[in-house]
Structure 1
Amino acid sequence: MKYISLLFVLNIILFGSCNEVNPKGEKEVREFLHEWNSKHTPIKAEDLKQDYMDVVTYFGAEMTKEQIQLDKIGLFQKYPDLKQSLDDSSITIEKEDGNYLITFTKQITYNEVTEAYPSFLSVIYKNGEFRILREGVTAANTSKNTDLAPTKAILEAIYKANPRLYGDFNGDGSAEYAIVKSPILVTASTTPKGNVGEVKCKDGCTSIIKFSDPAIPSISISDAYKSNLVNLGDLNNDTSDEIGFWNLKDGTESLYVYNAVNGKLLASPITINIKVHKNLKLIDVIKKVGPKKIRITESVLEEDGNWKLKSRVILLD
Structure 2
Amino acid sequence: MKYASLLSCLLIVLFSGCNKVKPKGDKEVRAFVKEWNQAHTQLKVAYLERDYMSLVSYYGGERTKSQVQQDKNLLFQQFPNYTQRVLDDQFDITKEAGSYLVTFTNHVSYGGIEADYASYLSLTIKNGAFKIQREGVVEDGNNLDAPIFPSAREDIIFFSNNRQVYGDFNGDGLSDYATVISPELNVILTKGTQYNDAIDCEGGCNSIIKFSNKELEDIKIEESYQSELENLKDLNGDGADEIGYWDIKPTTKSLYVFNPTNGMLLCDPIVINTAIHKNLKLIDVFKKTGPNKITVTRSAEVNGKWVLLSEVITLD
What TM-score, normalized by structure 1, do the two folds share?
A: 0.51
Partners of 1:109 and 1:199 in 2: CA distance: 50
Partners of 1:187 and 1:302 in 2: CA distance: 35
Confirm or deny that 1:167 pairs with 2:167: yes
Partners of 1:253 and 1:281 in 2: CA distance: 11
Partners of 1:112 and 1:164 in 2: CA distance: 36
Q: Give the SS at the match of 1:283.
A: helix
Residues 42-191 of structure 1 mapped to structure 2, 5 A cutoff = 83-84=79-80, 107-109=81-83, 112-113=107-108, 161-187=161-187
Q: Give the SS at the match of 1:284.
A: helix
Query: 1:255 touches 1:271 (CA, 8 Å); kept in 2?
Result: yes
Query: 1:188 touches 1:199 (CA, 8 Å); kept in 2?
Result: no
Partners of 1:219 and 1:206 in 2: CA distance: 10
Query: 2:229 touches 2:244 (CA, 8 Å); kept in 1?
Result: yes
Query: 1:188 touches 1:200 (CA, 8 Å); kept in 2?
Result: no
Query: 2:159 touches 2:179 (CA, 8 Å); kept in 1?
Result: no
- Between structure 1 and structure 2, the one with the greater Rg is 2
Match of 1:298 in 2: 298
Q: Give the SS at the match of 1:199.
A: coil
Provide closer, same or farther for how the CA distance between residues 238 and 251 of structure 1 changes in structure 2, counting only shifts above 3 A: same
Q: Which amino acid aligns with 2:308?
A: L
Match of 1:220 in 2: 220
Q: Give the SS at the match of 1:180.
A: strand
Match of 1:247 in 2: 247
Instruction: Kindly state the Cα deviation for residue 285 of structure 1 after the two structures are TM-superposed.
Output: 0.7
Instruction: Kindly state the Cα deviation for residue 251 of structure 1 after the two structures are TM-superposed.
Output: 1.1
Per-residue CA distance 1:131-169 (angstroms, 9 max, x = gap): xxxxxxxxxxxxxxxxx9xxxxxxxx9878400110000
Number of equivalent positions: 178
Confirm or deny that 1:310 pairs with 2:309: yes
Partners of 2:256 and 2:294 in 1: CA distance: 14
Partners of 1:284 and 1:252 in 2: CA distance: 15
Query: 1:206 touches 1:225 (CA, 8 Å); kept in 2?
Result: yes
Partners of 2:170 and 2:280 in 1: CA distance: 29
Provide closer, same or farther for how the CA distance between residues 112 and 214 of structure 1 changes in structure 2, counting only shifts above 3 A: same
Partners of 1:79 and 1:275 in 2: CA distance: 48
Partners of 1:199 and 1:112 in 2: CA distance: 53
Query: 1:178 touches 1:209 (CA, 8 Å); kept in 2?
Result: yes
Instruction: Kindly state the Cα deviation for residue 214 of structure 1 after the two structures are TM-superposed.
Output: 1.0
Query: 1:211 touches 1:217 (CA, 8 Å); kept in 2?
Result: yes
Match of 2:62 in 1: none
Instruction: Kindly state the Cα deviation for residue 114 of structure 1 after the two structures are TM-superposed.
Output: 6.1
Provide closer, same or farther for how the CA distance between residues 160 and 279 of structure 1 changes in structure 2, counting only shifts above 3 A: farther
Partners of 1:285 and 1:170 in 2: CA distance: 25
Identity of aligned residues (%): 48
Instruction: Kindly state the Cα deviation for residue 255 of structure 1 after the two structures are TM-superposed.
Output: 0.2
Instruction: Kindly state the Cα deviation for residue 291 of structure 1 after the two structures are TM-superposed.
Output: 0.5
Match of 1:276 in 2: 276
Query: 1:189 touches 1:199 (CA, 8 Å); kept in 2?
Result: no
Query: 2:300 touches 2:307 (CA, 8 Å); kept in 1?
Result: yes
Provide closer, same or farther for how the CA distance between residues 188 and 83 of structure 1 changes in structure 2, counting only shifts above 3 A: closer
Match of 1:141 in 2: none
Structure 2: any 5+ residue segments left out of the alignment? 1-45, 47-70, 85-105, 111-147, 149-156
Instruction: Kindly state the Cα deviation for residue 275 of structure 1 after the two structures are TM-superposed.
Output: 1.8
Partners of 2:184 and 2:301 in 1: CA distance: 32
Provide closer, same or farther for how the CA distance between residues 83 and 207 of structure 1 changes in structure 2, counting only shifts above 3 A: closer
Residues 228-243 of structure 1 mapped to structure 2, 5 A cutoff = 228-243=228-243
Q: Give the SS at the match of 2:213.
A: coil
Q: Which amino acid aligns with 2:248?
A: L
Q: Give the SS at the match of 1:186.
A: coil
Per-residue CA distance 1:31-70 (angstroms, 9 max, x = gap): xxxxxxxxxxxxxxxxxxxxxxxxxxxx9xxxxxxxxxxx
Query: 2:176 touches 2:212 (CA, 8 Å); kept in 1?
Result: yes
Partners of 1:217 and 1:159 in 2: CA distance: 16
Partners of 1:250 and 1:239 in 2: CA distance: 35
What TM-score, normalized by structure 2, do the two folds share?
A: 0.51
Q: Give the SS at the match of 1:200.
A: coil
